[in-house]
Structure 1
Amino acid sequence: MKYMATYDLMETARNTNEWLGATARAMASYPAFALSTNPLVNLTAAWGEVTERTFGRMVAKPDWGIRSIVGPDGQDHLVDIKQAVEKPFGDLIQFFVRRRAPMARKMLVVTPMSGHYATLLRPTVASLLPDADVYVTDWHNARDIPVSAGKFDVEDYVLYLVDFLRHLGPDTHVIAVCQPVPLTLAATAYLAAEDPDAQPRSLTLMGGPVDPDAAATEVTDFGRRVTMGQLEQWAIQRVGFKYKGAGRLVYPGLLQLAGFMSMNAERHSKAFSDQVMRVARGEASDHDAHNRFYDEYLAVMDMTAEFYLSTVERVFKNREIARNVFTVAGKKVDMGAITKVAVKIVEGEKDDISAPGQCLAALKLLTNLPEDKKAQHLEPGAGHYGIFAGKSWRLNIRPLVLNFIDANSGKPAKSPVKLAASN
């Protein structure tokens, strides 16, 4: 499938459906049809509106939408997004809060490169901003990166994190969510050996596949069933002529989205039809629950083929990080080199993406880290999304993470953050 034709065929199908939706909405919205009592006219306009938005949002990067926060003085403080480090495949961005002195806590939130944009962690970032200076890894859509920019695989991802951490300095506390957890651990071990003064003070690793074999999920089962040859043949395509990255081999976001949707096809189909009825009745709004969720869920990005394939082969199949044999730029990355970075593991009891045990395996690799520098938390009843953005994060996990950071900040302890009792 390594052809531009297959990539462009998917984009043509998406574009056609967006056009059909726009046409239906426009045609059924003519004033002359207002005289008709036929409900089909209203339903056609509603179907067109929902369809146009559904297929249009698939190629649009969502906005962070964090305009301001309330400071301890009770005043609103505007938030600006600044580029701290710019690189071809991803930037380090800062959420700069105007009229606020530098905070005692400085955090780097490492976001996944797994088909969705970094904005998927918008709730996490927004909840941390009042209490910390927050930096985020903002990965770029591979379709927009010219072939001349070169490759980007798991080793490059690690080296990007190394550069970001060197820029931020040693007083940084890192929170890694899901897919980048093992690579963040590798980046810290790399720094421990090559540049110890640039190591962060703490790592909070949340729901990531450090050892995929520690607990089976559908994701790990798929990784075992499919061969690398099959995966390369089925999943990899070349970016079409429409984008700057024309000719680049990628794992297309639209292909991954089709897989996501097929796993819960009945649920998504019902959500679509229910939204059509709400629009027809005048009960929907631009930022209602349906649109808030699907504006993010349907916005997908392409990954470079080498990153996708090397992640599957090296992290999942060969378990190089779990076996402590991972290499970067020809150098072995020894997890035992981490001796002073505090590490906290957070897992969700009902996580069906990275099941409990997969992330906890990181602590076994830290053979030279004192036990008092290790911590773990299993959140009862929490799924994958809940541990970093849902109710569990808001009420329990966030305060625990902030307390862990303060306990390992090397500065006078703050008053502990209290756990909330209710929503």
Structure 2
Amino acid sequence: MALIDDTRAILGDLIAFPTVSRDSNLELIAYAADRLGAAGARVHIQTDETGHKANLVASLGPETGGGVVLSGHSDVVPVEDQDWSSDPFELREEKGQLFGRGTCDMKGFIAATMAMAPHLGDLDLSRPVHICLTHDEEVGCLGARRLVEEIAGWDEKPSLAIIGEPTEMRIVEGHKGCCEYTTVFTGLEGHGSRPELGVNAVEYAVRYVTRLMELREMLKGRAPAQSRFEPPWSTLQVGRLAGGVAHNVIPGHASVDWELRPVSDADHRFVCEAIAAYARDDLLPAMREISADADIVTHVIGEVSGLEPVDDNEARRIVSALTGANGADVVAFGTEAGLFQKLGMSVVVCGPGSIAQAHKPDEFIEISQLSACLDMLQGLAGKLSTAR
């Protein structure tokens, strides 16, 4: 069977697993483990604490360091309230396009790597190839965060990673991080006629938001020289403020949902340290003058590291040679790439399909995009083969 036909068949199987982030991905992982194991891969499954989600690492080639990671997330976004023309979990082909939830984001890349696995298994490789499938990327890169923690403990660590998010096979060498938080305020309820006897959680939440907005303005002045991002600085925004029950009741509880998209780890630390200090040194003492039980707690919903462009990037050089691409881009959307970069790996994002189709009804991928991805993977196999 031709590689593209095998890829199409595997993609159909993958799409049939409705791996929406809220649900288990274990059936897909078991399917991938069987196929990759049959291709000669050394398969390791990392199950999460719930037992309902798992990552997979399938390694081919020598058991040495310096390996190449090909990584994709197995979860997809929901399809409820979307107007699909056909069953989103059944692959449909029409006019050179393959439709289904996850076709471009990002089961198309996974299918291509799985189709290539038997061919990689037949080669005498100069360095290992690690096919990685992760869970819960769409809700905070939860699986990848656990996976890189495990990889950090390997004696023989990989040195290069290609994250196959949909870029239309363009090379992406940078994106901002995405950090989401919910800050909860516990005050003291009371009658609205005696506000001095209560701790108004909403009022303290507003003061907290005001400080966030001050920090947002400060971030503009911290934009790196020659930043290629749009906008060039780290951004901060408040998505939701909730609290209170009635006009005449001092609210005892409030919450603020906010996000930070940093261009650098330094900006992330700057904001988190500054807002934590404000809550600790300014807000909490005032609240606890009235109620010792008053509190401010920030919950981390997700912290996804950005991918920072670097001058010396082996992954960029290799993928550029394989695809013929000149230069590399930065993008607005986030990926798991920064987590691998934090391990000291050389990383790029490059995969089939367009991000414009992701998360939409009638999501699709062009068959020509899958073919281009297979060309890149075949070129990589040739480059790693000792017989070349």
**Normalization by structure 2: what TM-score?**
0.34
Q: Which has the higher contact order (CA 8 A, sep 6+)?
A: 2
The structure with the largest strand share of the pair is 2
